Amino acid sequence: MTCKEQYENVCKDEFAGLHDKLDKMDEAIRGNGKPGIQVRLDRLEQDKLSRSKVVWFLLGIAGALLTRWVMR
């Protein structure tokens, strides 16, 4: 069996299957018109950052109110 025959008989279908799997993974990561993993992860990170800022803001208010109450 020559290399070309072996490619046609064995490798060609295997490579086609690998290309299909890679295309599906690429679509999952990039989204292809829908939010992909990259966009969803970025949204989660931005949401976490926003929540962190709100928590520190609320803790600052609570600390100020507690200080005011203690100083009375």
The pLDDT score that the predictor gives to residue 72 is: 86
State residue 2 phi and psi, 5-degree precision.
-85, 170
| Cα(27)–Cα(7) distance, integer angstroms | 28
Burial 20-33 (b: 16+ CB within 10 A, else e): eeeeeeeeeeeeee
Kindly report the backbone phi and psi dihedral angles of residue 57, in degrees, each rounded to the nearest multiple of 5, phi listed first. Answer: -65, -45
Domain boundaries, the chain: 1-34, 41-72
pTM comes to 0.60
Per-residue pLDDT of the chain (72 residues; tens, 9 = 90+): 888 888 888 899 999 999 999 999 999 999 888 889 999 999 999 999 999 999 999 999 999 999 999 998
> What are the CA-CA distances from residue 48 to residues 21, 44, 56, 60, 61 (Å)?
32, 6, 12, 18, 20
